[in-house]
Amino acid sequence: MHDALQPSLISVQDEVRAAFGWSEEADAESAIALLEFLKDHDLWTSDHRRQTLTELRSSLQNASRIVIIGAAVEKSEIEDSFLPGDTYVAADGAVGALDSYENLACVVSDFDGGEHLHKAACSGQTIVAHAHGDNLPGWQNCLNKWQELSLPPSLVPSHQTNRLFPEMYNFGGFTDGDRALCMVLSCGVAAEKIHLIGFAANRVGTWSGATVRVQKLLKLKWMERILSELGFAKFVRK
């Protein structure tokens, strides 16, 4: 399914693939494999995944303010910006900057958040689980571990292709951070209720997972473009 707020948030994925020399077929293969994996697990049935998204949408819509946490966040930023009633959406490993999950709605992840993502999964948090062409071994490794947990995470699977997959969503965007914003907006949250912290276009964030620095900086330029198109450029540190 495509749940993007506007078509350009999906078409930019074609531009990114062309820029980096990636294949949409590889993205689709990973997405199909993820759906195949999930359908064989009672923990993550289609009914359960639909219910997870319904509950996530409700949580986001009813929040007084949504704070999306990017990988360049400092813990002090979370403390300094806190307002009563804040609900958090974390971009992958940035969930590690939170001292508790009490106000966490979900983690938006392409499975490179390492120990911070795994810790959140072990406490049964909701994860918007993204499949793309070069993370198939990563999500397989994580899900094989998580299915053994006594309290596994709830999942909302996402993809980045032009295809339509049942109960798997393309919210638009590219990096975990801008995709998190696309997801929140697609859930019907007004832009004025959304606050971003920890978004930087000029450096690799403290909470980023294993990455190639030069390539990551190029990816962040795409993140900056997408946030700018959505009217959130003021939140990006230059």
188 falls in which pLDDT band (50, 70, 90)?
very high
Decide if pLDDT at 204 tops 70. no
Decide if pLDDT at 40 tops 90. no
Give the model's pLDDT for residue 210: 58
Give the model's pLDDT for residue 5: 86
* Integer Cα distance of 14 and 30 in angstroms: 16
Average pLDDT over residues 34-61: 95
* Integer Cα distance of 167 and 119 in angstroms: 26
Smallest CA-to-CA distance from 58 within 105, 95, 4 is with 105
pLDDT digits (tens, 9 = 90+) for 128-161: 999 999 999 999 999 999 999 999 999 999 999 9
Average pLDDT over residues 27-41: 95
**What's the whole-number average pLDDT of the chain?**
94
Decide if pLDDT at 212 tops 60. no
- Non-local (6+) Cβ contacts of 138 within 8 A are 110, 111, 112
DSSP single-letter state for residue 148: T
pLDDT digits (tens, 9 = 90+) for 93-120: 999 999 999 999 999 999 999 999 999 9
Annotated domain spans of the chain: 8-237
Decide if pLDDT at 124 tops 90. yes
More confident residue, 209 or 229: 229
